[in-house]
Structure 1
Amino acid sequence: MTERDSDDDPRDYDPIEPPVALAIAGSDSGGGAGIQADLKTMTVHGVFGTSAITATTAQNTRGVSDVAPVDVEHLERQCEAVLEDFDVAAVKTGMLATAGIVEAVTERAREYEGPVVVDPVMVAATGDRLLSESAEEAYEGLIAEATLVTPNADEAAVLTDRDVDDVESAADAARDLVAAGADAALVKGGHLGGDRIVDTLAIADEPDPIRIESPRVETDATHGSGCTLSSAVAARLARGETLRPAVEAATREMTGAVRHGYDVGEGPGAVNPTRLDR
């Protein structure tokens, strides 16, 4: 037998079978958030990422200049194409743009039997609004189908109609979201100030919310942080991890993603999904 005929022959086909996840979200032309961040994060976690694009955006590190939602029927065809061919082990949603898209995704989530992570993307890190008011109202149904919903403090305030300005009110908002039907809610504390970030996780049937503390990295280059976190949780759930450990691990990883962020463009940079503190 020649060396080429051995088990190490580089011509041999040697595929791997990773778990598959589906990201339903918008495209960020600047590359730091949205589908681009979702797929990078899933790849880093050993998960094959598929996608259904809800909207394209014209944006960069300085802001969003245009948002173009896709036709609802086209979004549904994208989801069908993925779900009929792949064994999708988890779904995550990001920017959904319009009420019609939120409602279509809600119906898809209702039919899907695996975990669904809902990142209710409403406002970009630059302050640009990414969701219509009617779409915000339509989120009630999607939250009820969520395994986990991951709003920041501002998004939690919109979703619960309460002020969220400290850790205590964040815990109240997380409880509200679970009461609205989510299996769990993670209210992210990056917008709350303080020397440390305190994220608050409420889980149905657990008496008290859980506080997850992380060091605060002094930077405004946090574009894509919400997409990266929710995709990391979805990827871990796709790999078979249970909810609380998946959330705690993904939250810890964000310190590295922010600390080693991308210094690109003329505005604040983006987080780096490939540099995660584990």
Structure 2
Amino acid sequence: MKVVLSIAGSDCSGGAGIQADLKTFEAFGVFGCTVLTVLTAQNTTGVKSISTVEPSFVKEQLEMVFADFEVSAIKIGMLFSKEIINTVREFIKDLDIPIVLDPVFISKAGSMLLSDDAILNMKLLFDYVTILTPNQFEAKALFDYEDNNIEVIEEIRKLKCATIVKNHYENDKSIDTLYFDGKIRKYETPYIKSENTHGTGCSFSSAIAANLALGKNLDESIDISNKFIYQAIKNAPNLGKGKGPIAHKKGFECLNIE
């Protein structure tokens, strides 16, 4: 069984963060390990408070996981502070495995999930990861991104890593745009008007990591993950009073893949 590591924050309501990553890993049949970076008091309506983990303890968690497991891929989510970002960068910089970075800035309920001084430090991770998975707002903060801005697109295409910008809506389609190896590719699924989107970004990036660990190439991993999220939203259990969680197990079952 392949082992995939999530470096991310905890969501006590179970729909996003580490909890969503573990549910995604389980759905795809890989074993999930975790390194906690922050604890959050949150639910589907928003984040009430955040408690950060000491960077030295983040490092100890990383060391213990790698001392005991052969990790096949990593998903990185909420890091929150520049100190934690620096700690993670020092650990991953010499690794030779797929790494998926979801540069978490803002929750779907509108809560800020990155300290103000950490955005520049986040960019220092880019040389050491396989793919970035920002949404439109995160891409705007990182690159001043607009999908018709040629200069910005050229900047993104020059990165060592691939970048997929999520959640552009057009003609009843949800479109994710991949910039990689000098090329642009779009992944489309039918747009679902749904309030059940809590943790979709976390689950999308962890699904990519799981599929890369299973030996799929980047294009296959993105395509499967994109369809997985569509089915997980479509079959969501309608829980909570805000942005409800998705159905990870059902989302995978509806893919009809082994």
- What interval of TM-score do these two structures reach, taking the shorter chain for normalisation? over 0.9
Secondary structure at the aligned position of 2:112 is classed as: coil
**Where does residue 177 of structure 1 map in the other structure?**
156
Q: Does 1:146 align with 2:129?
A: yes
**Equivalents in 2 of 1:133, 1:126: separation in Å?**
18
Q: Report if the CA contact (8 A) 2:108-2:243 is conserved.
A: no
Q: Does 1:226 align with 2:201?
A: yes
Closer/same/farther in 2, CA of residues 247 and 172 from structure 1, 3 Å limit = farther
**Equivalents in 2 of 1:174, 1:43: separation in Å?**
35
Q: Report if the CA contact (8 A) 2:41-2:47 is conserved.
A: yes
- How far 1:254 sits from its partner (Å)? 1.1
**Equivalents in 2 of 1:30, 1:108: separation in Å?**
29
Can you list the C-alpha shifts for 1:54-88, whole angstroms capped at 9, x where unaligned? 00000001110001110000000001100111000
Can you list the C-alpha shifts for 1:162-195, whole angstroms capped at 9, x where unaligned? 243xx434x875653342332x1111025x4651
Q: Give 2:105's match in structure 1, choosing from 106, 122, 140.
A: 122
Q: Give 1:265's match in structure 2, choosing from 235, 240, 251.
A: 240
- How far 1:157 sits from its partner (Å)? 0.8
Q: Report if the CA contact (8 A) 1:196-1:215 is conserved.
A: yes
**Where does residue 105 of structure 1 map in the other structure?**
88
Q: Report if the CA contact (8 A) 1:174-1:185 is conserved.
A: no
Per mean C-alpha deviation after superposition, the further-off stretch among 119-128 and 242-251 is: 242-251
- How far 1:268 sits from its partner (Å)? 2.4
**Equivalents in 2 of 1:86, 1:119: separation in Å?**
23
Q: Does 1:216 align with 2:199?
A: no
TM-score computed with the length of structure 1 as normaliser: 0.87
Equivalenced residue count is: 253
In structure 1, give the amino acid aligned to 2:104: V
Q: Does 1:87 align with 2:70?
A: yes
**Where does residue 228 of structure 2 map in the other structure?**
253
Q: Report if the CA contact (8 A) 2:208-2:225 is conserved.
A: yes
Any gaps of 5 or more consecutive residues in structure 1?
1-17
- How far 1:106 sits from its partner (Å)? 1.3
Identity %: 36
Q: Report if the CA contact (8 A) 2:195-2:242 is conserved.
A: no
- How far 1:137 sits from its partner (Å)? 1.4
Q: Give 2:166's match in structure 1, choosing from 176, 181, 188.
A: 188
Per mean C-alpha deviation after superposition, the further-off stretch among 172-181 and 41-50 is: 172-181
In structure 2, give the amino acid aligned to 1:176: E
**Equivalents in 1 of 2:170, 2:49: separation in Å?**
30
In structure 1, give the amino acid aligned to 2:48: S
Can you list the C-alpha shifts for 1:21-66, whole angstroms capped at 9, x where unaligned? 0000000011100000000000110100000000000000111000
Q: Report if the CA contact (8 A) 1:143-1:177 is conserved.
A: no
Structure of greater Rg: 1
- How far 1:155 sits from its partner (Å)? 0.4
Q: Report if the CA contact (8 A) 1:26-1:56 is conserved.
A: yes
Q: How does 1:149-164 map to 2 (within 5 A)?
A: 149-160=132-143, 162-164=144-146
**Equivalents in 1 of 2:18, 2:216: separation in Å?**
23
**Equivalents in 2 of 1:40, 1:66: separation in Å?**
23
Q: Does 1:199 align with 2:176?
A: yes
Secondary structure at the aligned position of 2:75 is classed as: strand
Flag the structure with higher strand content: 2
Q: Does 1:57 align with 2:34?
A: no
TM-score computed with the length of structure 2 as normaliser: 0.93
Secondary structure at the aligned position of 2:117 is classed as: helix
Closer/same/farther in 2, CA of residues 100 and 274 from structure 1, 3 Å limit = same
Closer/same/farther in 2, CA of residues 62 and 201 from structure 1, 3 Å limit = same
**Equivalents in 2 of 1:61, 1:189: separation in Å?**
19
Q: Report if the CA contact (8 A) 2:3-2:72 is conserved.
A: yes
Secondary structure at the aligned position of 1:188 is classed as: strand
